[in-house]
Amino acid sequence: MNQDLINKGKDMIRSAKAILIFSGAGLSTESGIPDFRSPGGIWDKYDPSDFYFQRLLSDEKAREKYWAMSKEFYANMKNAVPNRAHLSIKALEDAGKLLCIVTQNIDRLHHKAGNSKEKIIEIHGTAFSVSCLKCGKSYDRDEIEKRLDSGIKVPYCDVCSGFLKPDTISFGQAMPQDKMDRAYTCASECDLCIVLGSSLVVYPAASIPNQAVDKGSRLIIINRDTTPLDHKADLVIHESVSDTLAKMVEGL
């Protein structure tokens, strides 16, 4: 790993006063959670078109497939633990430098790492709670998992018999406008945006780091592969997210 690049990142972090962390699947893979799109990931086993939101609303078979997929993914996610990058982000908060975390991840690892929930914006939702799409009643995910373990293939609401769904954003489902608005506000206010493990190809989420740059923020991208925003970044490192960020934050 190039020490000059690490030192440049350290200097950028030291001089920053309001850091926006933008985290994607490449951060979670280093905690053992497979990326949906990677070889051997969920989309190698399932057809994503089965899980479009409108199809889930109208097709019982699609709902069965969806819950089978979701159950498999949740089992892996539930026991995952934060890695060095998550803990480094917590260190940034402890140092008073963290404005917010905008995450595409649904795994709650930023919460497990100890970051303040007020600073975490889960723009793609969370797999750790479930809601009724009809009446809005909320359920703890583990309660629904017990129903699935008992042989129920598609859980329904106790109150109104509506379709239950994890609080994640599916293909074709509207993004939560309040969270997006808050993320854009933070992007306008930050003086340093650090992208961690995101390919920056999923929109509208990927527009947030772009907004930060357009509003005058500096940009660090740490991702194993190239991204469409590499040319706009002040620093790009194609290495392990957890190793790289930990070295940059060390001794802060």
> CA separation (Å) from 212 to 26, 186, 195, 198, 223?
21, 8, 11, 15, 18
Q: Catalytic one among 86, 111, 124, 238?
A: 124
Q: For residue 22, which of 236, 200, 179, 231 has the smallest C-alpha distance? A: 200
DSSP letter assigned to residue 36? T
d(CA 52, CA 178): 22
Q: Which two tokens stand for residue 245?
A: 């960020």
Stretch (H or E) spanning 245 = helix 241-249
d(CA 28, CA 99): 21
238 carries an active-site annotation: no
- CA angle 163–168–174, rounded 5-degree value: 85
Stretch (H or E) spanning 7 = helix 3-15
Q: Are 67 and 155 in contact (CB under 8 A)?
A: yes
The residues annotated with a catalytic role in the active site are 124
